[in-house]
């Protein structure tokens, strides 16, 4: 099975980053959560225009590496429709919270 939403995961040079193609979605339609050592990304878009119904939905889950502190993970949606989730890497292991919502902000780049 190959997910339709492409993702790139990078964990190098003291930086952890996930980039997802989310051009169908507005920031308020995208949810990023941390739960049980994972980053869960979900999004849903519905619209009705000129009698045409459009629906897009996606869900992806990624493991948080041991060298990433979940408290510093951020998410932003750039002007190209890419969701970028990132954090700096640490030398030591951090304890991860049970659950946390990460706000998705739109940036114009």
Question: In order along the chain (109 residues), what is the average pLDDT of each group of 10 residues?
Answer: 74 92 89 93 93 92 92 91 91 59 77
- The pLDDT value recorded for residue 20 is 95
Q: How far apart are the C-alpha atoms of 38 and 36, rounded to whole Å? A: 6
- The pLDDT value recorded for residue 50 is 92
- The pLDDT value recorded for residue 98 is 62
Query: Residue 57 is inside which H or E element, if any?
Result: strand 52-63
Using CA of residue 79, residue 49, residue 2, residue 27, what is the dihedral sign? Answer: positive
Domain range enclosing 46: 7-88
Asked if 43 and 22 count as a contact pair (C-beta separation under 8 A), the reply is yes
Whether 59 is covered by a domain: the verdict is yes
- The pLDDT value recorded for residue 95 is 54
Token readout for 33 is 């959560």
Q: How far apart are the C-alpha atoms of 91 and 24, rounded to whole Å? A: 37
Backbone angles phi, psi at 60, to 5 degrees: -135, 150
**Domain containing residue 61: CATH number:** 2.60.40.790
Whether 16 is covered by a domain: the verdict is yes
């Amino acid at each position: 099975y190959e997910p339709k939403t492409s993702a790139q995961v990078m964990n190098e040079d003291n930086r952890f980053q996930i980039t997802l193609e989310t051009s169908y979605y507005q920031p308020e339609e995208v949810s990023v959560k941390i739960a049980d050592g994972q980053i869960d990304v979900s999004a849903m878009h519905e619209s009705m225009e000129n009698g045409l119904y459009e629906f897009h939905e996606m869900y992806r889950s990624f493991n948080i590496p041991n060298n990433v502190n979940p408290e510093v993970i951020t998410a932003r949606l750039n002007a190209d429709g890419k969701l970028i989730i990132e954090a700096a890497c640490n030398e030591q292991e951090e304890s991860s919270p049970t659950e946390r919502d990460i706000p998705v902000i739109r940036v114009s780049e």
